[in-house]
Amino acid sequence: MITVETFNTHREASSALNDRTRFLAGGTLLMRDVNYAVPGIEHIVRSLEPLRTIRSEGDSVFIGAAATMLDVINARETAFLAPVSRAVGGPAIRNMATVGGNLFAPSPFGDFTTALLALDATIHFADGRQEEIETFLAQRDSGRRIVTAISVAPPLSGSFLFSKISRTKPKGPAILSIAVRLPSGGQEARIAFGAMGPTPLRAKAAEAALSRTRIDEQGIAPVIAVATEGLAPADDALASQWYRRQVAPVHLKRLLLGGQR
Amino acid sequence: MARKPISFTLNGNEVSIFVGESANLMEELRRNVGDLTPKHGCGQGTCGACTVMVDGEPQLSCITLAQSVEGRSIETVTGLSQGPVLHALQQAFIDGFAAQCGFCTPGMLMAAKALLDRNPRPSRDEVIEAISGNICRCTGYEPIVDAILIASGQSREVRR
Ligand SMILES: Cc1cc2nc3c(=O)[nH]c(=O)nc-3n(C[C@H](O)[C@H](O)[C@H](O)COP(=O)(O)OP(=O)(O)OC[C@H]3O[C@@H](n4cnc5c(N)ncnc54)[C@H](O)[C@@H]3O)c2cc1C
Ligand code: FES
Ligand code: FES
């Protein structure tokens, strides 16, 4: 039997975590596992702390871990992330799925996290510590820490691109998703892929090529040539890893050229 | 099995029940409260047959922890009609043959209600988006989209 313990704060909930305990946020992934009696879940902890606030502070936007995709769509401060949130599931999923839970969603999920990776977001934990998103993703499955918020600097206007490729539209899990932050005004180039590895991953060779080129068909050829270097897609029911490798450069090219090709 | 007491509003009526610790809302509404309108299609958030409204927004009851709805307001298809008078959505579904086997219908109706409550005159694309989390294996979707447009007082020819 799975037991459930409810705490008033994320910090208190965090002290109850161990190997057989899972934290419940929106439940869109965890409750599936509970319904299907996936082994290894013995105890669920939840927190009543309303960490759904989205606010600007200095150069960054803070998004509470319990903010849902719908909250992100509705908040003025996160207008740059609204197209990403709209790409997650259908309306009911968007009303339940949290930003914090998306950070832990296994491939092919994690579209929102892919965007956060391209935007160099910072993850804030209940113990007061914080971590760059790339470091966090590299070790996320070994950590037992509760996330309370993420902070992210809004991209310069027109410099953030996102696209999700799926078989069923408007809803459907990703064959892959791509988020790009173009180099401009001191921002470094970032290219992040979702569903192209166990967690969202940066395409670092492509980023390096993007930072020294102009955006036109000829200019981006070297970027496209190394698009999948360092990525590790898997076979799943949606696509084989071979297919993902073949189509990822094509979709990156389309995204960079604004859908022209 | 330990059970937890919770209270919530169901279609305007106060409900107080004991729920299983890790039970989902769909199970408790069906087995415990006796409201059979949320259907068990997949139990994993994929089909939308169990869609209910919680505090005015659509939610998948199969992946909602039952005890998390303490103090919240839940709407299901049971609350749609006023006695014998059907809701405009229900009538349009009947008139337009938008229900065949009917298994997806309660979820479709609640997803559609959530849309019309917020956006009384949606475009065709907005209707398609609103039911994009709901699977229907019978109708091919077009009669459902038409019925929702007609329930909103518009013609089925409404533009995308
Ligand atoms: C039908 C369907 C469609 C979906 N479509 C998409 C999609 O298009 N794109 C996409 O990216 N995802 C999709 N998902 C996956 C999922 O809904 C999202 O990734 C969502 O953001 C997960 O958040 P949650 O709050 O529901 O997580 P939960 O299910 O509550 O938790 C998931 C995991 O994250 C951990 N966790 C949650 N919050 C925290 C926290 N604050 N700190 C530490 N650990 C935490 C939990 O311990 C748990 O292991 C879909 C799911 C379903 C069922
Ligand atoms: S039964 Fe809940 S989504 Fe299928
Ligand atoms: S009417 Fe049969 S599944 Fe929709």
Indicate the residue among A32, A47, A62 that finishes a domain.
A47
Tens digits of residue pLDDT in B13-55 = 999 999 999 999 999 999 999 999 999 999 999 999 999 999 9
Query: Which residue carries 């065709």 as its tokens?
Result: B124
What is the signed CA dihedral for A181, A185, A186, A188, rounded to 10 degrees? 20
Any ligand 1 atom below 6 A from CB of A173: yes
Q: Residue A5's pLDDT band (boundaries 50, 70, 90)?
A: very high
Indicate the residue among B79, B101, B132 that finishes a domain.
B79
Which residue, among A31, A74, A94, A96, would best test binding to B if mutated, counting the most B CBs under 10 Å from its CB? A31
Tens digits of residue pLDDT in A227-261 = 999 999 999 999 999 999 999 999 999 999 995 44
What is the Cα–Cα distance from B43 to B17, expressed in whole angstroms?
Answer: 22
Q: Which ligand is nearest to the CA of B135?
A: 3
Number of domains in chain A: 3
DSSP B82: B
ipTM: 0.95
Q: Is the dihedral of CA B116, B120, B124, B126 positive or negative?
A: negative
Residue B156 lies in a domain: no
Residue B154 is predicted with a pLDDT of 85
Query: What does pLDDT average to over chain A?
Result: 94
- Give mean pLDDT, residues A220-227: 97
Looking at the structure, tell me whether residues B65 and B132 fall in a common domain.
no
Q: Which of A41, A55, A152 is nearest to A103 (CA)?
A: A152
Residue B159 is predicted with a pLDDT of 66
For the whole model, what pTM was predicted? 0.96
Residue A260 is predicted with a pLDDT of 45
**Rounded to the nearest 5 degrees, what angle is found at the Cα of B96, between the Cα atoms of B90 and B97?**
90
User: What is the CATH classification number for the domain harbouring A129?
Assistant: 3.30.465.10
Range of the domain at A66: 54-152
Residue A261 lies in a domain: no
User: In this complex, is the C-beta atom of A170 within 8 Å of any C-beta atom belonging to chain B?
Assistant: yes
Computed over its alpha carbons, how large is the radius of gyration of chain B? 16
Range of the domain at B30: 3-79
The minimal CB distance from A31 to the residues B51, B63, B129 is found for: B63
Q: Is the dihedral of CA A160, A165, A166, A167 positive or negative?
A: positive
Looking at the structure, tell me whether residues A18 and A68 fall in a common domain.
no
Any ligand 2 atom below 6 A from CB of B50: yes
User: What is the CATH classification number for the domain harbouring B13?
Assistant: 3.10.20.30
Tens digits of residue pLDDT in B66-108 = 999 999 999 999 999 998 999 999 999 999 999 999 999 999 9
Looking at the structure, tell me whether residues B8 and B72 fall in a common domain.
yes
Q: Which of A63, A96, A99, A12 is nearest to B68 (CA)?
A: A96
What is the Cα–Cα distance from A122 to A136, expressed in whole angstroms?
Answer: 9
Q: Which atom of ligand 2 is nearest to the CA of B40?
A: 1
- Give mean pLDDT, residues B122-131: 96
